[in-house]
Amino acid sequence: MLQRLIPGLLLVIWDGSPTHRSQLIKDYLASGATQRLHLERFPGYAPELNPTEWVWSYLKLADLANIACDHLSELDAHLSKAKRRLQRKTNLIQAFIHDAGYDV
């Protein structure tokens, strides 16, 4: 989907999740998708190197702290709002990337 929305080359950084090694992903990459993708894999068992872990930590400990939901749909609504708020905090997102050891 991103390849349709974003022109040019894309950097894809992923962890070692089994879903990233599925046959579906292998088939997608074999179909020529790698012509526009540069793939980098995080080392195993190194969450501190993954900026996404910093995002989830922030959301759980700051933005979504003390949220108690009775239904999954309610949690989904809170999470969607929190993600939209975080998207506007580009300096914070850059800090997560920097704290993981990458230059922005």
Tens digit of each residue's pLDDT (9 = 90 or more) over 74-104 = 999 999 999 999 999 999 999 999 988 887 6
Q: Does residue 77 lie within any of the structural domains? A: yes
Both 25 and 64 in a single domain?
Answer: no
Residues 6+ apart with CB under 8 A from 104: 94, 97, 98
Number of domains in the chain: 2
Phi, psi values for residue 94, rounded to 5°: -65, -35
> Helix, strand or coil for residue 24?
helix
Contact predicate 98/104, CB 8 Å:
yes
Model confidence at 25, pLDDT cuts 50, 70, 90, reads confident
Both 34 and 54 in a single domain?
Answer: no
Both 95 and 55 in a single domain?
Answer: yes
Q: Which domain holds residue 16?
A: 2-41
Both 35 and 53 in a single domain?
Answer: no
Note the pLDDT of residue 96.
92
Contact predicate 82/64, CB 8 Å:
yes
Note the pLDDT of residue 104.
67
> Helix, strand or coil for residue 40?
strand
